[in-house]
Structure 1
Amino acid sequence: MFSNKTEFKETFLKRLEMLYGKSFSESSERDHYQTLGNMIREYVSNDWIKTNESYLAGKEKQVYYLSIEYLLGKLLRQNLINLGIEDTVQQGLHELGIDLSELEELEADAGLGNGGLGRLAACFLDSLASLNLPGHGHGIRYKHGLFEQKIVDGYQVELPEQWLRGGNVWEVRKADLAVKIPFWGKVEARTENGRLVFHHLNAETVTAVPHDMPVIGYETKTVNTLRLWNAEPSQFPFHTDILQYKRETEAISEFLYPDDTHDEGKILRLKQQYLLVSASLQSIIKTYRKQHPNMNLFHHHVCIHINDTHPVLAIPELMRILIDEEGFEWERAWHITTNTISYTNHTTLTEALEKWPIRIFQPLLPRIYMIVEEINERFCQQLWEQSPGAWERIGQLAIIADEYVKMAHLAIVGSFSVNGVAKLHTEILKTREMNQFYQLFPEKFNNKTNGIAHRRWLLKANPKLSTLISDAIGTNWATSPNDLTQLLKYQDDPSFLEQLFKIKKENKQTLADIIYSKTGTIVNTDAIFDVQVKRLHAYKRQLLNVLHIMYLYNRIKEDSSFTVVPRVFIFGAKASPGYYYAKKIIKLINTVAEKVNNDPIIGDKMKVIFLENYRVSLAEKVFPASDVSEQISTASKEASGTGNMKFMINGALTLGTLDGANIEIQELVGASNIFIYGLTAEEVLHYYQHGGYQSIEYYHHDSRIRQAVDQLVNEFFPGVHNEFEPIFDSLLEENDQYFVLKDFASYADTHKTVGETFMDQRKWQKMSLINIAHAGYFSSDRTIKEYADNIWGIKPR
């Protein structure tokens, strides 16, 4: 049906009539989108079936990637690109008077993720399929996702993210594969045939129904599966109030990351996590059973990878199945489990390492808690045998301690591999944050620097740049991203650099049009587009960025001779609904924007833009238009970052700290092609360990800092009263935990260098090209090959 545009048009018109019972002239854009989506899904169905059959027939090892979020973005054009039919479809639709880009607008960004963690999972799925590797994703089918962000009077307002309002054309509901998940109740132990057997009684069961989405590889016949679980009421629930049970059940898959400031939210999050792992394991084992007679060699044929700590309950759940359902003794079950599970750690932030109060965990998951307790007892016994009397060490390493279950500890003890996501991050885990575990299990720890789906972030997001690259070095870079280094031969080619400049200017105009349509602000496309788009978190230091903007504003206002290279500062970020401080920063950015953008003295010298509801489809417009990539987290805090890689491959230059993957970017492009400033991770960690930093000294000794910080509370911003006192207090009263004031001078100086460099456009374009040329290393294809070879042990089919 996609072999040529004539055949496509004929099939499209027939399918439209069959689906909707109306003629083309009576049909709507929504009908066209749904028809095309159905055609694509039908087109790949044969390959989808054959892929699964080949995995079963070949009996090769498969990996199952468990993640609480998948930030997929829109799939229509990406699927067309991967299938190699984009031009045929675009031309055929055009001849029917349909614009493919307008159909794309009808597709909602899938509301299944939030930030880098979820986007990484989506990139990994793309690479697994494109590399013909046997790997599938398991997640939750959130009805509303995180939230849709609206900015009202400068404040973030959260609305339900209605991404499923028009259905999801890519999914197939498989009610026949539904499984039961038990909560609450009690566990009874009985001796049967000489062994202790456990029965979970009076449980409240929930039905998990899978919705499968095809994951289409690039120019390959491999179609893997993303299986998303939807929580639905069971037919015969053990519950006295049926309506309450129905509400509580549907809430499990309603929102990503429900607010857990209260017990109700904690229970909901724990339910989500157990539903994900229990449903996934039941499904994985059912597939395994089609190939293998018993579970004894399960770990030889299956690897289950847990993306951060959210799916860690896979460890005790697999133990439960092996012991309670398969009849294994503890030691054999533990051997199988600890050789099946691998774990990625994504943070060095202690507060981000999940832990659950026993008072919630034990009654909600009684059998699972018993198993975790036994794992902890045996682990602590092992520690005691190594170092009798080392109570403090045992307390620090225990899985259950101080009335909490510590999920990261469980993940490390119960898995065979623990990886960080950038060289620095892994070193910090080994030498500091998880040093005691590293001393115990050095063989488990390894690094896998993150990567991005370079095809989406170039081929899809930046087609003009992709065409320029392909015209220069051929098209192999799409499957061999390291071929981008061939671009280095053009670094002194004036014609090529001019084309690079022209494409960037066109992309900036596209974003400028979006900014105008969304905010009413006209921005100068000759200015530096200086961009910080990522989750709003104190350690990511959007505050440092905005304080520097306030400083520039003050200088321009006070000194008519002060010259600044024009800049458009662009922010995009969602703050977690319960994250009070982050929401204050959003208000501050918007308050500064209002002041700067409406000041006639400032004019085109500076504009500040906050892009509402930042998401993948918006990111695809932002990255190609960016000149400067703000990667300014406090050194040691950002595990890796992947936005830095998306900016890089689109030719933006990094302004950042030596943190996360910024370090590896610098290693590749050289210190002269990146703008680095601020404290190193070592210096930051030294301050945390030994003290010695007094933010008040920087406030008193740097007039730029003092003026900007005072403006937070001195009525400089009319009508906001005490709005920014919490920010003021965080910097001075609470001693500036993330070293914003310490790094201010270095940041301001480096910004000056950025401006001076930008004035030499030939030099800037050469630096930009060098970044693009080296960005192939950061393809998720490379990352996934490393996982496949060094952790999962899977091979292409």
Structure 2
Amino acid sequence: MSQLSLEELVDIITNKLETERGKDIKSASDQDLYYVIASIVKDVINPQWLQTQNKYKEANSKRVYYLSMEFLVGRLLESNLLNCGLLDLTTDALTELGFDPEKVYSQEHDAGLGNGGLGRLAACFLDSMASLSYPGFGCGIRYRYGLFEQRIIHGNQIELPDYWLKDPYPWETRKVEEAVKICFGGKVNMFKKNDGSLEFKYEDTDQVMAVPYDIPIVGYQNEVVNSLRLWSAERPDMEPEFLTNRSKRYYHDLDHQHSIDQISGFLYPDDSNHEGKELRLKQQYFLVSASIQCIIRSYKKTSLRSLKHLPDKVTIQINDTHPSLAVPELMRVLMDHERFGWDEAWEITRNVIAYTNHTTLSEALETWPKEMMQNLLPRIYMIIDEINERFCKGIWFDHPELREKIPQLAIIAYDQVHMARLAIVGSFSVNGVARLHTEILKKKEMKDFYTLFPSRFNNKTNGITHRRWLLQVNPKLSSLITDVIGPQWVKSPNKLIGLLRYSKDQPFLEKIEQVKNENKQVLASFIHERTGILVDDQSIFDVQIKRLHEYKRQLLNIFHVIQLYNDLKDNPNLDIIPRTFIFGAKAAPSYYLAKEIIKLINKVASLVNHDKTIQDKLKVVFLENYNVSLAEKIIPAADISEQISTASKEASGTGNMKMMMNGAITVGTLDGANIEIRDLVGDRNIFIFGLTAEEVLNYYHNGGYVARDIYNTDDRVRRILNQLNYGDFGSQDIEFKDIYYNILYHNDPYFVLKDFDAYIETHELVEQAYRDKATWLNMSVTNIAYSGKFSSDRTIQEYASEIWNLNQVL
């Protein structure tokens, strides 16, 4: 179909409108066109989907299953059109028919299947696996509601339900015939068989059906279509005798029936109370149990060999700690259903499962109350308890030097089940997601585990799919790149390095500048349409778009804005290049301080944007409901990429890679992948400031930092904090006092004040560099040229060769 002419595609669209929507062009809506185009794409990819699965079966190839609680895929129509080679033609056809292609494409709601970098990384990995012809499959949950839809009212974040499935989702295929049963609660009875082996039977369990919905993952113009399988929790059909036996549990069963809807109801329930915590644990077990049952069933269909050879044909990659229950669940299936003994089941399990760690934050290394695990998942708890006993005994006898550290290593300790520890003990690979992050894991956060299992630890620096984040979202820049170095970079992103030859070519730099200016004009129009704020498209677009967390330090950024505003109030004629600060962020509903920071950003924006005395030299824009589609609009227009996390806290980052790939210059700390960006582009093409990870960790461990000393000695800092304390940015005196007290009375836990002076100085250097257009454009091109290193294709090739032992099926 990629050989279609414009006229032929127009005819297909008009015919499908009539046959599938019962409309003609004159009466059709943008939504009608969206569903018609999606139907045309499905006609192309469905045969390729079937062909791909058959090819994998014929090759009897090893497969990787990527288990993740998040898959932030965004909108799929444009991506699928691009990968099928139909995007330009479809855009032309819609224009020919009198429709605005952007309005048609935007009819698709962002899939509410993720929140931040973890989920977007998973989506990029699926794209790369398909585009590189690797047999890779995603496994997640089909949440009916996403995290939440964010609205900003009087500066405050308000959360509304994100019912992204209110309209039919054209990309999913329900496969009820492949549903599996999940059991919660009940009792486990143990019997000794005649041969001495143990048998376990479950009674009075609460059953849930996991029904799969498959979404095609389309490779880039290679006719490979992999699958993302999303599980939906549904009520099982009850047999009459089952119902009779449970008549005394009537009210319990009513509660259970109600709870089933919640399991796949919404992403990340509030776990600040018992009910929410239990629901989250249910979700995690639901994901891994359904997925592992499906994996075992698939293996049996495609292989005649015993399950003891499962590691030769299957790797299960768990994305962070959320799917760590894959370890005991695989053990359960192998022992209770497949009749393996403990030692053989453990050998299989430990050689199938690989674990990716995404954080050094203790709050993100999940633990569950022992009693909750026992009640909700009694058999799973028994297996974890046995794993823990054997692991701790092994330390006691084989590593006497670590005996005193057993409580810090034990999977079950102080009545808590530690999921990261379970994942490390039960896997053959533990990888970090940036060089610094992996070193921190090995030398500090997981040092004792590294002592026990040094060969398991490895690094796989994150990546992004350049097809989505350059080719699709920035077509003008992509076209310009192709004009000068040819199209090979699309399939081999490392060839972007060829742009270095043009980094001082004046005609080329002028074209780069023109593309950036056009992208900024588009974003400025969008901002005005969305918010009513007029921004200067010739100003510096200074962008920070990411999840709102104290360690990501949006607070440091807005302190810089306040400092500039104070300078302009003191001297309205101050000679500065106009700046537009663009924020996009969601805060977790129960994260009070993060929501206060959002409010502060919006209050400062309201004050700055309406103050005529500063002559429009500053504008602050907070774009609500940040998601993938919004990122696609912002990133091509960014001049500055704010990557200013407290050093040692950001595992990797992927926003830094996306903006680098689109020519933005990074302002950042030596944290996460910023270090690897710096190593590639050189100190002249990035702006690095602030404490190092070693210095931060030293302060945490040894003290020596007093935030109040900076408050007392730096007039700028004192003025800003006093403005917070005295209510200068709020309608009430009490507004923002909590931020003030958190910094001064909790000793600035993320070193905002400590890095403030260096951050201000760095932005002075940014301004100087921006005034020299040739220098700035050279920096921009240099960043684009080196960005191919951060393609997720490179990351997936490293996983495939160094962890998964996976071959391409061409």
Taking a change above 3 Å as real, the CA distance of residues 523 and 591 of structure 1, as seen in their structure-2 partners, is same
Q: Secondary structure at the match of 1:347?
A: coil
1:708-723 matches, within 5 Å, as 708-723=720-735
| Farther-moved stretch of structure 1 (510-519 vs 559-568) | 559-568
| Farther-moved stretch of structure 1 (600-609 vs 113-122) | 600-609
1:618-637 matches, within 5 Å, as 618-637=630-649
Q: Once the 2 structures are TM-superposed, how far is the Cα of residue 589 of structure 1 from its aligned partner?
A: 0.5
- Residue 51 of structure 2 corresponds to 50
1:20-419 matches, within 5 Å, as 20-194=21-195, 195-236=197-238, 240-241=250-251, 243-293=254-304, 294-388=306-400, 391-419=403-431
Distance in 2, matches of 1:217 and 1:683, equals 44
Q: Secondary structure at the match of 1:231?
A: strand
Give the TM-score of the pair, scaled to structure 2.
Answer: 0.97
Taking a change above 3 Å as real, the CA distance of residues 389 and 434 of structure 1, as seen in their structure-2 partners, is closer
Distance in 1, matches of 2:401 and 2:474, equals 61
Deviations 1:504-552, CA, capped at 9 Å, x for gaps: 1111111111111111110111111001100000000011111111111
| 1:766 paired to 2:778 | yes
Q: Secondary structure at the match of 2:302?
A: coil
Q: Secondary structure at the match of 1:296?
A: helix
1:484-633 matches, within 5 Å, as 484-560=496-572, 562-633=574-645
Q: Once the 2 structures are TM-superposed, how far is the Cα of residue 42 of structure 1 from its aligned partner?
A: 2.3
Give the TM-score of the pair, scaled to structure 1.
Answer: 0.99
1:675-754 matches, within 5 Å, as 675-754=687-766
Deviations 1:212-254, CA, capped at 9 Å, x for gaps: 0000000101100000001111112765245533321011111
Deviations 1:764-792, CA, capped at 9 Å, x for gaps: 00100000000000000000000000000
- Residue 17 of structure 1 corresponds to 18
Q: Secondary structure at the match of 2:745?
A: coil
- Residue 653 of structure 2 corresponds to 641
Q: Once the 2 structures are TM-superposed, how far is the Cα of residue 192 of structure 1 from its aligned partner?
A: 2.5
Deviations 1:44-87, CA, capped at 9 Å, x for gaps: 11110111111111111100000000111111111111111122
Q: Secondary structure at the match of 2:724?
A: coil
- Residue 489 of structure 2 corresponds to 477
Q: Once the 2 structures are TM-superposed, how far is the Cα of residue 88 of structure 1 from its aligned partner?
A: 2.4
Q: Once the 2 structures are TM-superposed, how far is the Cα of residue 391 of structure 1 from its aligned partner?
A: 4.5
Distance in 2, matches of 1:717 and 1:100, equals 42
Distance in 2, matches of 1:343 and 1:423, equals 16
Q: Once the 2 structures are TM-superposed, how far is the Cα of residue 492 of structure 1 from its aligned partner?
A: 1.1
Distance in 2, matches of 1:264 and 1:603, equals 53
Distance in 2, matches of 1:642 and 1:26, equals 43
Q: Secondary structure at the match of 1:732?
A: helix
Q: Does the Cα contact within 8 Å between 2:727 and 2:735 map onto a contact in 1? A: no
Taking a change above 3 Å as real, the CA distance of residues 562 and 216 of structure 1, as seen in their structure-2 partners, is same
Q: Secondary structure at the match of 2:250?
A: coil
Q: Does the Cα contact within 8 Å between 1:448 and 1:786 map onto a contact in 2? A: yes
The letter of the residue matching 2:296 is: I
| Farther-moved stretch of structure 1 (704-713 vs 192-201) | 192-201
Q: Once the 2 structures are TM-superposed, how far is the Cα of residue 389 of structure 1 from its aligned partner?
A: 8.6
The letter of the residue matching 1:13 is: T
Instruction: Give aligned-pair identity as a percent.
Output: 55
Q: Does the Cα contact within 8 Å between 1:155 and 1:586 map onto a contact in 2? A: yes
Q: Secondary structure at the match of 1:604?
A: coil
Q: Does the Cα contact within 8 Å between 1:597 and 1:603 map onto a contact in 2? A: no
The letter of the residue matching 1:100 is: P
Q: Secondary structure at the match of 1:306?
A: strand
Q: Secondary structure at the match of 1:339?
A: helix
The letter of the residue matching 2:337 is: E
The letter of the residue matching 2:216 is: P
| Farther-moved stretch of structure 1 (763-772 vs 543-552) | 543-552
Distance in 1, matches of 2:560 and 2:31, equals 45
Taking a change above 3 Å as real, the CA distance of residues 390 and 304 of structure 1, as seen in their structure-2 partners, is closer
The letter of the residue matching 1:110 is: A
Q: Secondary structure at the match of 1:190?
A: strand
Q: Secondary structure at the match of 2:220?
A: coil
Distance in 1, matches of 2:645 and 2:24, equals 55
Q: Secondary structure at the match of 1:26?
A: coil
Structure 1 unaligned blocks of 5 or more: none
Distance in 2, matches of 1:715 and 1:487, equals 50
The letter of the residue matching 2:259 is: E
Q: Does the Cα contact within 8 Å between 1:547 and 1:709 map onto a contact in 2? A: no
Q: Does the Cα contact within 8 Å between 1:56 and 1:290 map onto a contact in 2? A: no
| Farther-moved stretch of structure 1 (340-349 vs 380-389) | 380-389
Q: Once the 2 structures are TM-superposed, how far is the Cα of residue 677 of structure 1 from its aligned partner?
A: 0.4
The letter of the residue matching 1:213 is: I
Distance in 2, matches of 1:475 and 1:103, equals 28
Ranges of 4+ aligned residues in structure 1 off by more than 6 Å: none
The letter of the residue matching 2:675 is: I
Q: Secondary structure at the match of 1:247?
A: helix
Q: Does the Cα contact within 8 Å between 2:727 and 2:736 map onto a contact in 1? A: no
Distance in 2, matches of 1:192 and 1:57, equals 40
Q: Does the Cα contact within 8 Å between 2:367 and 2:418 map onto a contact in 1? A: yes
Q: Does the Cα contact within 8 Å between 2:49 and 2:216 map onto a contact in 1? A: yes
Q: Secondary structure at the match of 2:281?
A: helix
Distance in 1, matches of 2:172 and 2:122, equals 18
Structure 2 unaligned blocks of 5 or more: none
- Residue 439 of structure 1 corresponds to 451
Deviations 1:153-210, CA, capped at 9 Å, x for gaps: 0000001112111111001011111111101111000122321101111100011110
The letter of the residue matching 1:233 is: R
Q: Does the Cα contact within 8 Å between 2:600 and 2:729 map onto a contact in 1? A: no
Distance in 2, matches of 1:92 and 1:528, equals 36
Q: Does the Cα contact within 8 Å between 2:31 and 2:107 map onto a contact in 1? A: yes
The letter of the residue matching 1:648 is: M
- Residue 480 of structure 2 corresponds to 468
Q: Once the 2 structures are TM-superposed, how far is the Cα of residue 152 of structure 1 from its aligned partner?
A: 0.5
The letter of the residue matching 2:577 is: V
Q: Does the Cα contact within 8 Å between 2:395 and 2:403 map onto a contact in 1? A: no
Distance in 2, matches of 1:634 and 1:596, equals 27
- Residue 756 of structure 1 corresponds to 768
The letter of the residue matching 1:733 is: Y
Distance in 1, matches of 2:772 and 2:97, equals 47
Q: Does the Cα contact within 8 Å between 1:306 and 1:343 map onto a contact in 2? A: yes
Q: Once the 2 structures are TM-superposed, how far is the Cα of residue 719 of structure 1 from its aligned partner?
A: 1.1
Distance in 2, matches of 1:589 and 1:390, equals 48
